[in-house]
């Protein structure tokens, strides 16, 4: 409707007073800017059949970051009596500081953030964890202790010449990269994210329900 300048900042006013201008990832020939809303949807999937079922959605102006809506979707689903244990999501929906798990008991896994650096002594290709730079044997993960992943030496008592000078254990803080609450390099999590791509298809159908754009779908 109008554009005005206030203290050097351009302010846009739209027909719908609640919508706003936000950014999105690059998509084909579309602009990275979107004016309007984002629809945040929690979808359940049958891993055996590949059929997915949108459960609950929240509509919000496009200028709000996606991560703000993960707690609302989780709490709303739990209030409906849905037993949530694991949520796979895009990188934007990461669980900052493990807060969502502490408050709801729900684990969130996202693709590793490209902004998070690998910790020291981690193999970049295999994600194997080593105790130090001279360690030749990958460590074994024991589990999560508070906000840290606990790793222990997997060598036999007589199988490592450095055992006398090595602590034989290591703690790696949780992050939004490779070492989330469930480490991303585990096979089960990679499977979960492969299934997650299928969950997006019902939403793509909703966006293209006018039939103006051909959509590739499998199973639906």
26 assigned to some structural domain: no
Cβ-contact 128, 183 below 8 angstroms: no
Length of the chain in terms of residues written: 220
pTM metric for this prediction: 0.75
Task: For residue 188, give the 3-state DSSP assignment.
Answer: helix
| Cα dist from 30 to 33, 34, 133, 197, whole Å | 8, 9, 46, 21
Whether residues 56 and 149 share a domain: the answer is no
Distance linking the first and last C-alpha atoms of the chain: 40
Whether residues 126 and 190 share a domain: the answer is no
Whether residues 128 and 105 share a domain: the answer is no
Give the strand pairing for 107-109 and 86-88: parallel
75 assigned to some structural domain: yes
Whether residues 63 and 95 share a domain: the answer is yes
Whether residues 61 and 80 share a domain: the answer is yes
| Mean pLDDT score, 148-177 | 84
108 assigned to some structural domain: yes
Residue-wise pLDDT tens digits, 65-109: 888 899 999 999 999 999 999 999 988 888 878 899 999 999 999
| Mean pLDDT score, 38-47 | 84
Whether residues 153 and 170 share a domain: the answer is yes
Task: For residue 21, give the 3-state DSSP assignment.
Answer: strand
Element (H, E) at 193: helix 187-207
Task: For residue 212, give the 3-state DSSP assignment.
Answer: coil
Whether residues 88 and 63 share a domain: the answer is yes
Distance CA 214, CA 220 (A): 14
**For the chain, percent helix, then strand, then coil, each to nearest 5?**
25, 30, 50
What is the predicted pLDDT for the residue at 200?
66
Whether residues 82 and 94 share a domain: the answer is yes
**How many structural domains compose the chain?**
2
- For 158, the domain range is 118-174
- Ramachandran category for residue 98: left, alpha or beta (phi over 0 → left; psi -120 to 50 → alpha): left
| Mean pLDDT score, 190-216 | 66
Distance of CA 125 to the CA centre of its chain: 21
Whether residues 98 and 50 share a domain: the answer is yes
With a cut of 60, say whether residue 220 has pLDDT above it.
no
């Amino acid at each position: 409707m109008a554009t005005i300048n206030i203290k050097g900042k351009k302010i846009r006013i739209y027909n719908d007073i609640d919508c706003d201008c936000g950014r999105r990832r690059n998509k084909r020939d579309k602009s990275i800017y979107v004016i309007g809303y984002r629809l945040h949807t929690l979808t359940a999937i049958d891993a055996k059949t590949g059929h997915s079922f949108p459960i609950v959605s929240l509509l919000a102006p496009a200028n709000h970051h996606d991560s703000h809506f993960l707690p609302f979707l989780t709490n709303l689903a739990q209030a409906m009596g849905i037993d949530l244990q694991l949520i796979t999501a895009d990188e934007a929906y990461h669980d900052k500081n493990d807060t969502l798990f502490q408050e709801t008991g729900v684990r969130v896994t996202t693709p590793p953030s490209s902004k998070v650096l690998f910790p020291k002594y981690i193999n970049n290709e295999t994600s194997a964890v080593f105790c130090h730079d001279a360690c030749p044997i990958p460590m074994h993960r024991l589990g999560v202790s508070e906000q840290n992943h606990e790793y222990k030496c997997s060598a036999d008592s007589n199988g490592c010449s450095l055992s006398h000078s090595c602590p034989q254990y290591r703690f790696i803080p949780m992050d939004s990269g490779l070492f989330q609450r469930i480490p991303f390099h585990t096979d089960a999590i990679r499977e979960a994210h492969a299934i997650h791509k299928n969950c997006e298809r019902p939403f793509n159908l909703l966006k293209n329900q006018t039939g103006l754009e051909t959509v590739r779908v499998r199973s639906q």
